[in-house]
Amino acid sequence: MTHKTVLLTRRSFIESSARWIATIPLLNTLAGRSWSADLPIETGDDPVAKALGYFPDATKVDTVKYPKRAGADGATQFCHTCLQFTATSDDWGTCKVIPGKRVAAAGWCNVWVKKA
């Protein structure tokens, strides 16, 4: 019986690793786009969403309870302008703070942070 010996040099290991690492962002993007459509829609009834003050329609936010949404600065605050939001379509996206659900692009929550 003959055993074939595979010689893995440092150079071939680094080249192979670099190729695999380079594909991770592409795979992540492709996977995120296809899986996000299967996520349930967040209606604002979930305990996490309620704790964050999430509203699927930002125009319905009680500005007395959430003064951050009031005024000229608040008028520009929507999920689609938030740093935590990743769009998956024109109307929906995913949020890092509300995982496992799709949120409305026109929504708002109290942890809104302006995109840079």
Given a cut of 50, the residues of the chain with pLDDT beneath it are: 33-34
The architecture CATH gives domain 10-104: Irregular (4.10)
The confidence score (pLDDT) of residue 104 equals 96
The confidence score (pLDDT) of residue 34 equals 46
pLDDT, tens digit, 9 for 90 and up, residues 9-26:
888 888 888 888 877 776
The confidence score (pLDDT) of residue 5 equals 72
- CB burial of 69-89 (b: ≥16 within 10 Å; e: otherwise) equals beeeebeebbbbebebbbebe
